[in-house]
Amino acid sequence: MSVWWLLLLAGLPTFLLGVFVWVVIQHLPSAEMPSTLKHPAKLLFMYYMLQYLIALGNILEKLRICAMPRFLQFLQGLMTIKKDPNVLVTDMHFGTVPVRLFKPKELSSKPHRGIIFYHGGGAMIGSLDFYHGLGNLLASETDSVVLMVGYRKLPDYHHPALANDCLNASIYFLKNLESFGVDPSRVVLCGESIGGWAVANVMQILPSIASLPQIQAQVLIQPIVNLINFQLPSHQQSKNVPFLTRDMMFMCMLKYLTIDLSWKDAMLTGAVIPLEKWKKYRKWLSSDNIPRRFWSQDPQLEFLAPFNEAAYLETKHVWSAEISPVLADDKIISQLPKTFLVSCENDILRDDVLLYKKRLEDQGVPVSWYHVEDGFHGCLMLCDKKCFSFPCSMKVVNAVVSYIKGI
């Protein structure tokens, strides 16, 4: 028996190395590093490591040992969090939703500003611990009470669990602002990536609850707000740029929405879009809304493949405003608070931000916009990761902090 264990231990490093080599060979031809990116070698290495861990997770899933998302979450949970001596951190639950409260230790004669933050991670990774440093930073730099929401994720929970957790936690917080030392007239709703999508989703509902203090501003950092048109310029230009490649985006998105991955090509080509719906919503979804300076020199024009009714029936829920917030009625959009949008040039979701920007502006919502030329998707979450941080990480943080301090 001991011989088998020795063989296993001897073969394990070879197996792990083989998987890593396979991942590099598989992704090396497709990974793109635009010239505006700073430290491309570092980003490429981190991307390979992420794909390596996903590959190991998929192997464990096929062996029925552990689901791939749970494997990534386990590894993520091994990281240590850094304490800030100037911030008091409290873990608690609002009902069944875990939340983390960050509050400046320095005594104040008046209530603090409040920030409700939904983290990113594609509903698969991301956690209160992983974004702990950002919570500390927001609390200390803006002198605010920060509520970070730990919503439910894959593999056990699918839509609408994430949005429901964010909504319920936010309602509880807004009902009890005084007990948390928060000024009801200065509450900001903030989110990154899928957390930004949650902000757009939750803000469709909160203004209609008259008993709650009104959100003064919303901050959406690289959000996804459109799950219909995947032929936008940024989808063409950045489909292979880490961290959020097109394959990664579809893996997370389809898993969360319980759409079979076999419908990916139909969604990419627009075969799931009925002509009458495209005629109705094109004014909000079309590439025509993207300023020409963001187009490549040789753009691929939008072209809908022949309609596939079976694919449409399997994916039609993406046409709801709670999944594609850019489709919300004019009445709902016009009631939204002033907005700060952050986009990154090398991000497949760059044009989602631009679509939403125009959608809000057309309804008279005051919009401020910050664009990071050397940025990529997910750079915000690396802001406190020292050697893994990038210049664009702090650019995003500083822009968000500066905007919130003005609330």
pLDDT in tens, 67-126: 999 999 999 999 889 899 999 999 999 999 999 999 999 877 799 999 999 999 999 999
Average per-residue pLDDT in the chain? 94
Residue 406: count other Cβ atoms within 10 Å of its Cβ.
9
The model carries a pTM of 0.96
Q: What distance in Å separates the CA atoms of residue 395 and residue 211, rounded to the nearest whole number? A: 37
Q: What distance in Å separates the CA atoms of residue 250 and residue 318, rounded to the nearest whole number? A: 13
Nearest to 352, CA basis, from 344, 364, 340, 362: 344
Q: What distance in Å separates the CA atoms of residue 18 and residue 132, rounded to the nearest whole number? A: 34
Nearest-5° angle of CA 117, CA 75, CA 2? 165
pLDDT in tens, 278-305: 999 999 999 999 999 999 877 677 888 9
Q: What distance in Å separates the CA atoms of residue 325 and residue 141, rounded to the nearest whole number? A: 30
CATH topology of domain 87-407: Rossmann fold (3.40.50)
The pLDDT of residue 14 is 80
Q: What distance in Å separates the CA atoms of residue 278 and residue 281, rounded to the nearest whole number? A: 5
Give DSSP secondary structure letters for 270-339. Answer: TTT--HHHHHHHHHHHSGGGS-GGGS-SSPPPP-PPPP-HHHHHHHGGGGSTTTSGGGS-HHHHHT--EE
Active site residues: 193, 347, 377
Q: What distance in Å separates the CA atoms of residue 367 and residue 348, rounded to the nearest whole number? A: 21
Q: What is the pLDDT along the chain (407 residues), one digit of tens a residue?
A: 566 666 566 677 888 888 888 988 988 778 899 889 999 999 999 999 999 999 999 999 999 999 999 999 999 999 889 899 999 999 999 999 999 999 999 877 799 999 999 999 999 999 999 999 999 999 999 999 999 999 999 999 999 999 999 999 999 999 999 999 999 999 999 999 999 999 999 999 999 999 999 999 999 999 999 999 999 999 999 999 999 999 999 999 999 999 999 999 999 999 999 999 999 999 999 999 999 999 987 767 788 899 999 999 999 999 999 999 999 999 999 999 999 999 999 999 999 999 999 999 999 999 999 999 999 999 999 999 888 899 999 999 999 999 999 99
Residue 172: count other Cβ atoms within 10 Å of its Cβ.
15
Cβ-contact 235, 136 below 8 angstroms: no
Tokens of 14: 């070879």
Q: What distance in Å separates the CA atoms of residue 68 and residue 72, rounded to the nearest whole number? A: 6
Tokens of 62: 């096929």
Tokens of 371: 């664009």
- Give CATH 3.40.50.1820 domain extents, the chain: 87-407
Cβ-contact 130, 78 below 8 angstroms: no
